[in-house]
């Protein structure tokens, strides 16, 4: 993708604060971090989002996740890390090249990631689970 900034960053055409690189991914510090050390893992091949991805590519990319998360935690001494991935504008995606966030978290920090807990009527969850399962 000629006009994709994450393609350019992942492949080294635009310099970035890189913390890890292998043949499949580059992991860089996010330019507008939720907390210092907030990193994004960017695959070297272009996929717009998870719906545009195949299992084998995701499997290759994901192999480095535990190592990257542990390195961030060791260096920062954070108490936890959110690993998250947005798909579609409705889900907060702003760059249309699949990427995975690593957000360092501290006890009682002010980072906002969350939702209000909803609920199901009697039998609704089982019915919905069955419908989704039929599409897997």
**How many C-beta neighbours within 10 Å does residue 104 have?**
24
Closest residue to Zn ion, based on beta-carbon distance:
4
Residue 113 CB, nearest approach to ligand AMP (Å): 12
Residue 33 CB, nearest approach to Zn ion (Å): 21
Terminal Cα distance for the chain, rounded: 30
Using the minimum distance from each CB to ligand AMP, give the nearer residue, 7 or 64: 7
Tell me which residues touch ligand AMP (CB under 6 A).
Answer: 5, 16, 28, 30-32, 40, 86, 92-95
Helix or strand run (H / E) with residue 26: strand 25-29
Q: Is 23 helix (H, G, I), strand (E, B) or coil?
A: coil
The one of ligand AMP, Zn ion, none whose footprint includes residue 46, by CB under 5 to 8 A per kind, is Zn ion
Q: Which residues are catalytic?
A: 99
Residue 3 CB, nearest approach to ligand AMP (Å): 14
Residue with tokens 């890189």: 18
CA angle 5, 11, 14 (to 5 degrees): 50
């Amino acid at each position: 993708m000629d006009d994709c900034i994450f393609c350019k960053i992942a492949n080294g055409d635009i310099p970035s604060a890189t913390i890890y690189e292998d043949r499949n991914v580059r992991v860089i510090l996010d330019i507008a971090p939720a907390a210092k050390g907030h990193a994004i893992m960017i695959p070297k091949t272009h996929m717009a989002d998870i719906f545009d991805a195949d299992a084998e590519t995701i499997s290759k990319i994901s192999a480095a996740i535990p190592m990257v998360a542990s390195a961030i935690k060791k260096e920062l001494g954070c108490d936890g890390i959110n690993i998250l991935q947005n798909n579609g504008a409705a889900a907060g995606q702003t760059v249309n090249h699949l990427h995975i966030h690593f957000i360092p978290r501290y006890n009682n920090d002010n980072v906002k990631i969350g939702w209000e807990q909803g609920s199901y009527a009697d039998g609704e969850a089982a019915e919905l689970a069955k419908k989704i399962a039929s599409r897997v």
